[in-house]
């Protein structure tokens, strides 16, 4: 069976009354069993066919995370239609461009908040006939906006039942499953085509490297419109585990403590901020508590390194670990909802110090690497084979080579079918059958991959030095007082940065130091605040080469936003846009009289 929708339905038949999906409405948690999920998928699939959706038709999902997102996706796939996910944070213009480019027939909308942008897309996209509103609590009187619940209630005709059976009989793994539009940090978004077979490869590989079953709980908080969370959620449900779906990712910390997931995936940002918050709290506390904190981490480091190396711990170390765990380590694990079988990290580089810290408290983060074009995983660490500072070894049936330019190039059954309607981009994306990732990296002697930067994102200083900005942003941006960071310096004599502070943490610092300010602009202009950032940037930059270090920076009070075009839906900085928007501030930093400042 090579169709993802049908594989999910088969898994549902095996797990029956077990809980499949869990979500929160208001203060109440609601569960949906595998049998109930399967019924919803079949009913919605029938509703789509009754509505006229044909094999190959593109159906969009423009919504934050919710159980209906997954039900709709699996229903679409099970009738040989094609899902086109769109980030709920996309603007009306971005949504309309995707809807038009893909030839979208139908668009599912999550909540009332997405209706204005979706209605604009409906008016502009000639192929689109209706919107379907998934949130049952939302209200609209627009006749072109249909209710998700009404589709679930449709009773299929004999002709529809026969049509669905015929479609499923004709399915193959080569069928196009989805078109996912890339974030576009360096150009126009491209529609990445992924087949059912691309996804199946991912899940067969995960089965060989990880153990997930009906005893596990996953927290789905990254956007399902991103291939990372979507592919992982498919695997979770194929494994019979509980997938807890979180609509608002800003609630992730509180939800971790409440849900206590045993497995989950995340971008590095969550791990960075938890690490920084825990360490900063310890460092700002009493000296004795800090001493106990550091002692406990040292014991945890020795204990867990032995554990994963297969070395038996001594009785003395076991005793020290029990004390360290009770005093410190278990309290840190409680911040993320207790013990985990493993964490996974992807989407950007994770700093080595963060990996080390989590392992010391008994939480293994398995970092991996991939792209939308690879469904997404190319390499990964796993509990049985990991090396910190790398993104792991290639997954099953995937080949990796490093070109003379340093570019990572790949072959495998997970690689995209190509970009939708873009023959020139397809020709450029492949060389001799190898997919060009656009990333720079190297393989070590044990076959573990290290990714250093994007080829198009390299900064070349006026002195001819090649600087990888993402590496610096990873090392410095993990700081407790930094929310967003853009490294600048192309064709300049040194590296500089535009920094958006983490204002909640910075305000607490100001309170402790009894600093007076009326607003954020006034706060970031205080000499004590500028010196705080100067000191912390120097601390995080110790291992950087002199030409890589941030010589000057400017603090700004306004966050980078997707609406302003400064970041992608996955929060990656569009460096050229930021550089242009803050051109005058940047010029001031590079002037002879320039200095660290605020704006």
Domain closes at, from 298, 330, 363: 363
Identify the pLDDT of residue 74: 98
Domain closes at, from 363, 379, 403: 363
Q: 254 and 272, same structural domain?
A: no
pTM score: 0.91
Q: 279 and 251, same structural domain?
A: no
Identify the pLDDT of residue 138: 83
Identify the pLDDT of residue 486: 96
Within a domain: 393: no
Q: How many domains does the chain have?
A: 3
**Mind listing the pLDDT tens digit for each residue in 107-162?**
999 999 999 999 999 999 989 989 999 998 887 888 999 999 999 998 899 999 99
Q: 235 and 97, same structural domain?
A: yes
Q: 35 and 11, same structural domain?
A: yes
Within a domain: 217: yes
Domain closes at, from 313, 348, 363: 363
Identify the pLDDT of residue 139: 79
Q: 271 and 261, same structural domain?
A: no
Nearest CA to 87 out of 65, 103, 71, 102 is that of 65
Within a domain: 37: yes
- Residues contacting residue 522 through CB under 8 Å, at least 6 positions apart: none
Within a domain: 232: yes
Identify the pLDDT of residue 466: 86
Q: 513 and 489, same structural domain?
A: yes
| Cβ atoms 525, 557 nearer than 8 A | no
| Cβ atoms 537, 476 nearer than 8 A | yes
CA distance 25 to 69: 15
Query: Within a 10 A sphere around the Cβ of 124, how many other Cβ atoms?
Result: 15
SS3 content of the chain, % helix, strand, coil (to 5): 45, 20, 35
Identify the pLDDT of residue 337: 96
Domain span at residue 535 reads 458-598
The CA distances from residue 231 to 104, 197, 241, 270, in Å, are 22, 12, 14, 19
The two three-digit tokens of residue 598, written as one number: 């605020």
Within a domain: 557: yes
Within a domain: 117: yes
CA distance 467 to 458: 6
Q: 252 and 308, same structural domain?
A: no
The two three-digit tokens of residue 222, written as one number: 């990254």
Q: 12 and 128, same structural domain?
A: yes
How big is the chain, counted in residues? 599
Within a domain: 43: yes
Q: 277 and 227, same structural domain?
A: no
CATH of the domain at 165: 3.40.50.12780
CATH of the domain at 593: 3.30.300.30
Residue-by-residue DSSP string for 14-64:
HHTTSEEEEEEETTEEEEEEHHHHHHHHHHHHHHHHHTTPPTT-EEEEE-S
Identify the pLDDT of residue 592: 60
Identify the pLDDT of residue 12: 97
Q: 303 and 232, same structural domain?
A: no
Q: 119 and 27, same structural domain?
A: yes
| Cβ atoms 375, 407 nearer than 8 A | no
Q: Which residues pair with 554 in a beta bridge?
A: 498, 597
Residue 268 has, within 13 A of its CA and on its CB side, a CA count of: 26
Query: Within a 10 A sphere around the Cβ of 101, how many other Cβ atoms?
Result: 20
The two three-digit tokens of residue 357, written as one number: 């810290």
Peptide bond into 162 cis (omega under 30): no
Q: Which residues of the chain have pLDDT under 70?
A: 1, 184-187, 592-595, 597-599
3-state SS class at 192: strand
CA distance 569 to 85: 12
CA distance 371 to 408: 12
Within a domain: 373: no
Identify the pLDDT of residue 593: 52
CA 521 from centroid of its chain's CA atoms? 31
Residue showing tokens 């000057």: 552
Q: 233 and 337, same structural domain?
A: no
């Amino acid at each position: 069976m090579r169709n993802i929708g049908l594989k999910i339905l088969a898994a549902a038949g095996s797990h029956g009354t077990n809980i499949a999906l869990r979500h929160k409405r208001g203060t109440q948690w609601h569960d949906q069993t595998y049998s109930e999920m399967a019924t919803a998928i079949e009913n919605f699939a029938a509703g789509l066919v009754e509505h006229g959706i044909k094999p190959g038709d593109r159906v969009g999902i423009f919504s934050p995370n919710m159980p209906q997102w997954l039900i709709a996706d699996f229903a679409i796939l099970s009738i040989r239609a094609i899902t086109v996910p769109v980030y709920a944070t996309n603007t009306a213009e971005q949504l309309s461009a995707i809807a038009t480019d893909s030839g979208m027939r139908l668009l599912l909308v999550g909540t009332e908040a997405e209706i204005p942008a979706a209605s604009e897309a409906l008016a502009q996209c000639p192929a689109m006939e209706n919107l379907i509103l998934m949130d049952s609590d939302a209200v609209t009187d627009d006749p072109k906006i249909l209710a998700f619940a009404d589709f679930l209630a449709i009773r299929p005709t004999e002709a529809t039942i026969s049509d669905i059976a015929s479609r499923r009989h004709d399915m193959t793994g080569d069928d196009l499953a989805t078109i996912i539009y890339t974030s576009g940090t360096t150009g126009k978004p491209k529609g990445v085509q992924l087949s059912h077979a691309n996804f199946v490869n991912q899940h067969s590989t995960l089965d060989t490297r990880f153990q997930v079953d009906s005893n596990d709980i996953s927290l789905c908080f990254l956007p399902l419109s991103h291939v990372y969370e979507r592919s992982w959620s498919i695997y979770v449900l194929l494994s019979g585990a509980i997938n807890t779906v979180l609509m608002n990712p800003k609630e992730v910390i509180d939800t971790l403590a409440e849900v206590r997931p045993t497995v989950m995936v995340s971008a590095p940002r969550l791990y960075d901020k938890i690490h920084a918050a825990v360490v900063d709290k310890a460092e700002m506390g009493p000296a004795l508590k800090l001493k106990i904190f550091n002692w406990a981490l040292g014991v945890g480091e020795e204990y867990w390194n032995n554990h994963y190396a297969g070395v038996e711990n001594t009785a003395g170390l076991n005793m020290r670990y029990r004390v360290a765990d009770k005093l410190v380590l278990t309290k840190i694990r409680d911040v993320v909802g207790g013990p985990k079988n493993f964490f996974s990290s992807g989407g950007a580089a994770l700093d080595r110090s963060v990996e080390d810290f989590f392992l010391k408290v008994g939480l293994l983060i398995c970092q991996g690497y991939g792209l939308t074009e690879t469904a997404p995983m190319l390499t990964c660490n796993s509990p049985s084979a990991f090396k910190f500072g790398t993104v792991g070894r290639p997954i099953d049936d995937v080949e990796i080579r490093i070109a003379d330019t340093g570019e990572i190039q790949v072959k495998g059954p997970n690689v995209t079918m190509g970009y939708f309607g873009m023959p020139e981009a397809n020709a450029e994306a492949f060389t001799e059958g190898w997919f060009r990732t656009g990333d720079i990296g190297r393989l070590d002697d044990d076959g573990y991959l290290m990714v250093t930067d994007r080829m198009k994102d390299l900064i070349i200083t006026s002195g001819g030095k090649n600087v990888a900005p993402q590496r610096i942003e990873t090392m410095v941006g993990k700081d407790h007082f930094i929310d967003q960071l853009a490294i600048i310096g192309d064709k300049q004599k040194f590296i500089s940065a535009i920094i958006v502070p983490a204002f909640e943490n910075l305000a607490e610092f100001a309170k402790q130091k009894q600093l007076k300010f009326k607003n954020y602009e006034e706060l970031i202009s205080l000499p004590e605040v500028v010196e705080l950032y100067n000191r912390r940037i120097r601390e995080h930059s110790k291992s950087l080469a002199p030409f890589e270090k941030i010589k000057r920076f400017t603090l700004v009070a306004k966050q980078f936003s997707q609406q302003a075009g400064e970041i992608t839906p996955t929060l990656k900085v569009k460096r050229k846009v930021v550089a242009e928007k803050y051109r005058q501030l940047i010029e001031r930093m590079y002037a002879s009289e320039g200095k660290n400042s605020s704006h």
